[in-house]
A and B are shown apart, each in its own frame.
Chain A
Amino acid sequence: MKGTQLGELEELILLTVASLYDDAYGVAIMKEIAERTNRKITISTVHAALKRLEEKGFCTSRYDGATPERGGRRKHLFRVTAAGQQALENSRAIRNSLWDRIPKIAFEHGK
């Protein structure tokens, strides 16, 4: 399946979902990313990515916790599944192995 690969933005969002643990919903994710990475992404982008992640089976969602400022609407909360965890670990492993393979001399600019 083509969709099992994690995109850069998807990875970022999935990591954020994991880090927020039980309070991962659209606005919270958007704000967390803005805070941690200084990247401004729109709310609809977050939702679109979350939907793709859910379709790929990397996270599950449930509704909970209505608040007055949400007009009485519940939060759509996300949690990372085992498959999601696997995907995150895979991509981390790939990165690590690539990092390990970099010879020291490659980063000695101008020395």
Chain B
Amino acid sequence: MNPTPDNHDQGPLESLADDALTLEIRRLWEILDPPPGDLADGVLATLAAIDLEFEFELLTLVEAHDALAGTRSLTSQMSEVGQWSLEFAGPDFRVLLRISTVNERRRVDGWVLPRRPMRIQVASASAGHPSYDGVEVDAHGRFEITNVSPGLSRLWFLPEPGESDDSRLPIATPPFWI
């Protein structure tokens, strides 16, 4: 076997090392059997469509507490240094959130009941679908998400794969201001 991968610009095909010759086979097939021109567009359309059919259980807001006395508008709440708490619930799931502000970034401390293995993530309210890693709940059902951008958001609670009950749907809060 000839180990030099870059000698393929000289000499006939039969003198190419294994990897270089394999690469020529690949390039031959790329010419002979090109993918359909709309392959990537079709994939993207399919991925966009599953956002619409993505099923989840929607929680409802059952309680909101403002740590600062008095009323204020949503917009002032956005920029103010403050702390407030929210409670969301579904038929068999409950989550308590405390949102605080550190250096104009939000911090979310949460507690889920009952505790079960899941990943939790913050997503923009306009995203129809969670898309990336979140944080895990600890053994007591608590979690914390730090350095969150303020804005209209929702929390996703995604069942961990491979757990006993695979039929569990992801759970989401309605959009709320963080």
* A and B interact: no
Q: Which residues of B contact A (CB under 8 A)?
A: none
Q: Which residues of A contact B (CB under 8 A)?
A: none
